[in-house]
Amino acid sequence: MNTTTDARATPRPLVPSRGGLLARVRVRWWIFAFMCAFAFMSYILRQPVTVAAVPMMPELHFSQFQIGMLYWAFVAGYTCFQLLGGVYGQRMGARRCFVVISLIAFVCVMALPLAPSVTSGMTLFVALMITQSVLGVSQGPVFPVSAGVFETWFPPPRWSLVLGVQAMFMDLGGAAAPLVLTRLMDVLGWKEAVVLTSLPALLLVPLWAWYGRNTPREHPKVTAEELAEIGGSAPIGITNIDWRRLGHLLLNRELLLITVSYTCMNYVFYLILAWCFLYLIQVRNFTMLDGGLLAALPPIGAAIGAALGGKVGTMLVVRYGPRWGFRLIPLIMLPLAGLLLIAGVRAGNPYWAVAALTAAYGAVETLEGPSWAAMMYVAREDTMAATGALNTGGNLGGVIGIPIVAYLTDHGMWTSAFVLGAVFATVSGLLWFWIDATRRFEPPPAAAHA
């Protein structure tokens, strides 16, 4: 692969600092706001298949296993395009990448309410499997490319914080989806609800295309002071990565360990994200409206956990350094999440079960900021590709776990699904004893940048 340079990569003259309120809001925080918005909408767009499952199953004559497989198709496409999406973003730049993937995602989501008007039966199921997998492909680059944006636009001490807060918005999207969709479905029907909740994703595209830039040096509003705050060393072009460099990156010891831990953690993540709504209705006997409201609580807990994990992770790294600063949160919080899963499934009171699941999800999501920031410390300018690999492994937790949970729950074995989640959470935490973020990736000499 060759380095791609064009007009997008041409540095602009740095503007002098001006007074006023808008000048005090640095450009990097507006870029950060866009990354949070894309994360929020990503979790709105992936939820309709499971949240709308109750009215969809009888209307479309789908079984619960088929609903599970539709969501699996999304996760499979999402997983397969993490690494390639990160490489694509690293070569093409975040500005173009987010425009392309957002438009594809919107078209794929629209297929869910529109396709039943055209076909039915097995043909419909296959068509939705395809569109859900393409939706997953389109969303694959979102978080690896966001991580590359943060690596470029923020100094290293801020990485865990901005990643944690972005994960908070991701989880808030997961909380908003069942809450908003169930209310709209009750008034308008599930098809109309899917359309209305997806429209904001389309509005983001022109705004980002107008304001977004790949690096601080490209943005006309970045001042000399802000560039100095970032570090002054942000690249002015798009980072080159060839297959030899990528191969060495994928064999990096820390990358592999962080990825395996993230894979185990994501079984729990997808267990609660994808199946909590049906669990509350089928096992805890809540109505669909009450279930939609209560199913919003675990993602809210996850959002709080992600923000706290990002903030505390930053504080721990400053105090103890990257090695133990990143280790402490997963070593404590992930085994705790496993215990909370067991407590939730064994609780006699259904509201205590919801509380335990909410706390478990929050404990799991404290890992988001530290794990991604640790990977960024290791990979640096190869962050997009490295975090693409991280999220590929992470979402294998969904690819592997969703069919398992679909099978177990289809046979009424909800407790087994949650006990297995407790095992995965504990293993994920213990792996951090061997992870050292101070061991930075060194590319092969022939592939190093000039």
Q: How buried is 206 (Cβ within 10 angstroms: 0-12 exposed, 13-18 middle, 19+ buried)?
A: exposed
* 392, 377 Cβ separation under 8 angstroms: no
Question: Which residues lie across from 223 on neighbouring strands?
Answer: 15
275 within a domain of the structure (yes/no): yes
Per-residue pLDDT, 359: 94
Count of structural domains, the chain: 1
In a domain, 429, yes or no: yes
- Contact status, residue 99 vs residue 80, Cβ threshold 8 Å: no
Structure tokens at 399: 């690819």
pLDDT given at position 436: 92
183: containing domain = 21-224+248-439
User: Is residue 446 in some structural domain?
Assistant: no
Listed as ranges, residues in the chain with pLDDT below 50 are 1-17, 19-22, 233-238, 447-450
Sign of CA dihedral 161, 167, 172, 173: positive
User: How many other β-carbons are positioned within 10 Å of the β-carbon of residue 430?
Assistant: 15
pLDDT of 442 reads: 84
Q: Give me 156's structure tokens.
A: 């290293």
Secondary structure, 3-state, the chain: CCCCCCHHHCCCCCECCCCCHHHHCCHHHHHHHHHHHHHHHHHHHCCHHHHCHHHHHHHHCCCHHHHHHHHHHHHHHHHHHHHHHHHHHHHHCHHHHHHHHHHHHHHHHHHHHHHHHCCCHHHHHHHHHHHHHHHHHHHCCHHHHHHHHHHHHCCHHHHHHHHHHHHHHHHHHHHHHHHHHHHHHHHHCHHHHHHHHHHHHHHHHHHHHHHCCCCHHHCCCCEHHHHHHHCCCCCCCCCCCCHHHHHHHHCCHHHHHHHHHHHHHHHHHHHHHHHHHHHHHHCCCCCHHHHHHHHCHHHHHHHHHHHHHHHHHHHHHHHHHHHHHHHHHHHHHHHHHHHHHHHHHHCCCHHHHHHHHHHHHHHHHCCHHHHHHHHHHHHHHHHHHHHHHHHHHHHHHHHHHHHHHHHHHHCCCHHHHHHHHHHHHHHHHHHHHHCCCCCCCCCCHHHCCC
C-alpha dihedral over 237, 441, 257, 367, to 10 degrees? -50
What pLDDT does 427 receive? 95
Is 242 inside a domain boundary? no
**In one letter, which amino acid is 243?**
W
CATH number for the domain including 35? 1.20.1250.20
pLDDT at position 7: 36
pLDDT value, residue 240:
66
Q: Which of 153, 84, 34 is nearest to 387 (CA)?
A: 84
Cα–Cα dist 225/445, whole Å: 34
What is the reported pLDDT for 432?
95
| Residue 406 domain-assigned (yes or no) | yes
The answer to whether residue 9 sits within a structural domain is no
Assess if residue 10 is contained within a domain: no
Give a yes or no: residue 128 inside a domain: yes
